[in-house]
Structure 1
Amino acid sequence: MKKILTGLFFLFSAVGFFACSDGIDYEKMRQEELATLDEYLAAKHPNAEPTKSGLYYFNEPGTGEGDTIKLGDEVQIFYATWVLDKDSEGVIDSFLVDQSSGYLEGHRFEPLSLIAGAGSTISGLEEGVTYMQPGTRSRLVINSALAYGQNGSGTVGMFKTILMEVEVSKVIPLETTTE
């Protein structure tokens, strides 16, 4: 019995060692992300205030009409996504990583459809659309805690803030979708 317990101890110790010692300083990466975000906001949006969750949104004046989108509403959007980062010289830069069909070229063929608050996409985007109306164009600044976090995604690295340009094309209110 003692040998079994000793073996289990070493097994769990090894698993814990490999799980925790991947050589990546996650805290340092998160702090670097937040410093880059602070620099970006100071340069581009010095008076911006985040929502409770830490999302920044900037709706374009004169866009949008009708009721604000509510949790549970089906929302169809066109979007483009950039990653906020620093280049090799330490200058803040961003690079395009994703877009809906032809969004930046002005061809709006197929919007992305999501249910606001359903957890089907990143929480920053789902929250961001709730500050919009049909026809609204907005820029969202979404830190990694509201985007892809520590894991990143296929095109977004670990602990990276993303910038999204979003246009709401259509809203189907919750009352309509549940009938």
Structure 2
Amino acid sequence: MPGSGKNREMDCGIRHNDGLIRGSLNPNRKKFKTMKNKFLILFSLLLCFAQTGFAVELNTHKQKYSYAIGLQIGQMLIAQDIREVDADAFAAAVSDYLAKKQPQLSQEEMQAALRKFYADAKAARAELAKENLAKGAKYREEHAKKPGVTVLKNGLQYEVMSPGNGAHPKADQRVEVHYTGKLIDGTVFDSSHSRGKPTQFSLNGVVPGFREAITRMQPGGKWVVVMPPELAYGEKGAGKKIGPNETLTFEIEYIGPVATAQPK
């Protein structure tokens, strides 16, 4: 679910204990660069344990831990949204490196290839952000015309399905909710219902749109909320499920405030 702030340097998956609740982490620029450099080193040196399309025997301990390492590197690549890799070239690079053979590309050629790779990826993401922004604006424009939909000045839209009753929560309060988050095409990216229990979190730890919606709700209330990207995850998106500049829809049931333990 929506995490905090617009000035995120990096999104880190956004997982709370049981859901997409917290939003993005906010590491400082130096830490981000260090992590990126470490990844580039790994990517350059370990272009290797790739799936090459054939079955292998996994009987010995060495075979098993080698396979496990390969899976970990594959997971790392997917986490960085690196999905299109030539498996043969990938495996050859690792094999050459482990055998201490002379690399088939010079250092300059490798650096140039990686620079182009990241430049192309950045351009593709920028184009996706542009497309998402336009699609989201059109979706919100049409949604705002529906009977019963309220549109706030900041662009947040909501429809009250069930009003609830009682006090509104404060912006820093801990609350309990059931929710389902969707992209505008209907894809569910997170849901407390799928986990079979409501979720608890502090309102000061979620994205602005989610916080504002819940502070306007009353216990027992059920709303459908549509958030523009600037009130959700913005240009950064959130992990692999929420792209840049995505407009999000949430079905929210505000169960009520969570009582804080009193000091003895």
Bin for the TM-score computed over the shorter chain: 0.5 to 0.7
Tell me the amino acid that sits aligned with residue 76 of structure 1. Answer: E
**8 Å contact 1:78–1:168 — kept in the other structure?**
yes
1:136 maps onto 2:226 in alignment = no
- Deviation of the 1:31 alpha carbon: 4.8
1:80 maps onto 2:165 in alignment = no
* Aligned counterparts of 2:254 and 2:124: Cα–Cα separation in 1: 38
- Deviation of the 1:177 alpha carbon: 6.2
- Deviation of the 1:30 alpha carbon: 4.8
Q: Which runs of 5+ in 1 are unaligned?
A: 1-16, 85-92, 104-108
The residue aligned with 1:4 is: none
Q: Give me the identity figure in percent.
A: 25
1:45-91 Cα shifts (integer Å, max 9, x gaps):
31655323321121214x3111122212211000111111xxxxxxx
The residue aligned with 1:96 is: 188
* Aligned counterparts of 2:261 and 2:167: Cα–Cα separation in 1: 16
The residue aligned with 2:242 is: 156
TM-score of the superposed pair, with normalisation by structure 2: 0.47
Q: Which has the higher Rg, Structure 1 or Structure 2? A: 2
**8 Å contact 1:139–1:166 — kept in the other structure?**
yes
Higher helix share: 2
Tell me the amino acid that sits aligned with residue 98 of structure 1. Answer: D
1:41 maps onto 2:140 in alignment = yes
**8 Å contact 1:73–1:171 — kept in the other structure?**
yes
1:51 maps onto 2:152 in alignment = yes
Partner-residue secondary structure (3-state), 2:235: coil
**8 Å contact 1:144–1:159 — kept in the other structure?**
yes
TM-score of the superposed pair, with normalisation by structure 1: 0.66
Instruction: Name the count of aligned residue pairs.
Output: 145
* Aligned counterparts of 2:198 and 2:125: Cα–Cα separation in 1: 38
Structure-2 change in CA distance of 1:67 and 1:177 (3 Å): farther
The residue aligned with 1:114 is: 201
Structure-2 change in CA distance of 1:20 and 1:126 (3 Å): farther
1:20-64 Cα shifts (integer Å, max 9, x gaps):
8832473x6555334323332343331655323321121214x31
Q: Which runs of 5+ in 2 are unaligned?
A: 1-114
Structure-2 change in CA distance of 1:40 and 1:177 (3 Å): farther
Structure-2 change in CA distance of 1:113 and 1:161 (3 Å): same
**8 Å contact 2:228–2:247 — kept in the other structure?**
yes
